[in-house]
Amino acid sequence: MFTADGRWPKADEDLDPYPVWVAEVMLQQTQLQVVLPYWRRWMEVFPNLEALAEATEQQVLLLWQGLGYYSRARRLHASSRLLLSELQHKKTAVNDPTQFRHWPLAAETWMALPGIGRSTAAGILSSAFNSPLAILDGNVRRVLARVYAHPEPPMRAQSQFWAWSEELIDEVPGLSRALNQALMDLGATVCTPRNPACEVCPWDQRCAAYASGSAQQYPVKEAPRETPFQVIGVGVVVNEAGEVLIDQRLNEGLLGGLWEFPGGKQEPGELIAETISRELREELAIEVSVEQELIKLDHAYSHKKLRFEVHLCSWLSGDPQPLASQQVRWVKPSELADYPFPAANTRIIAALLEHFR
């Protein structure tokens, strides 16, 4: 993490915690090369804590669209308001770069915010304030698993991995910012999940996995679990005005707060048209005529695989009600870009726009 003028910060130099915090949250479960363009756009639209706190949730989700794990965006937004209230209570000018010291300096304070765990809190504080705190993200966990040739999956020995990471911090007093950044960079660029570049690793003489000639066998992985597969029937409901019906998911789960075309899981022995009719009746209290297939697509999440079978539907009767969502809305197809949708819906929207062309 560099200073605003592109320099690597001095050991005793504080950084603005806001962009560091945003980056740390975005990097949870997402690789740097994916995060970077999102982070840059975010900083252009929400350049400071005050701008984020004043934004609506829909504005936040729309900017996050495509990055996945949308609960991170909702928690970031909620936390911004909590932090702003805290800073204003201290009568701190949030846009004054000399006031970084008024941000929370205790890891426990950060961990009390939604979505902030021990490693994220330590990453924020070590990057912004050079606080002597250890981190344990996926990259660091992989490096340590190989350095010590740990014989079981890392998640089964979290306390041991934390102890190793803390020992490294203790070895270099006053350099926790540089050490944590170096560990993450080492894991991201050299000690990679596949084909680690051991021949250029600065820790090759310290690494037990390298000494054994079996670096790729570490970290030891959990036995693979069978990934559930589901077929989802989706109805793109069109009214006489040429508008389509969308609903906003409840603020829970990975995709909470996003908009979607209504539908649901196909039950055993059920035709897809029956699935769509039933789901729209149960979730929206409407009757539809299920017509031609618009698109069929597969989408994989970390915990399941889905096949979306999407059909155009004509609205027959019933005033749409948000029985299982926050709200429903009729919108013109050209307006869909104004709403944050899950990534799987991108191809559905493209097929719909092509249909109406």
Structure tokens at 100: 């970084």
What number of H helices and E strands is found in the chain? Answer: 13, 7
- Distance between the two ends of the chain, CA-based, in angstroms? 46
Structure tokens at 337: 């870009």
Q: Which residues are catalytic?
A: 24
Cis peptide before 219 (omega within 30 of 0): yes
**Which residues neighbour 223 within 8 Å (Cβ) at sequence distance 6 or greater?**
none
Spatial distance between the Cα atoms of 122 and 107, rounded to a whole number of angstroms: 6
**Tally of CB atoms within 10 A around 277:** 21
**Which residues neighbour 15 within 8 Å (Cβ) at sequence distance 6 or greater?**
1, 3, 9, 100, 127, 128, 129
Q: How long is the chain?
A: 357
Whether 52 contacts 60, CB under 8 Å: yes
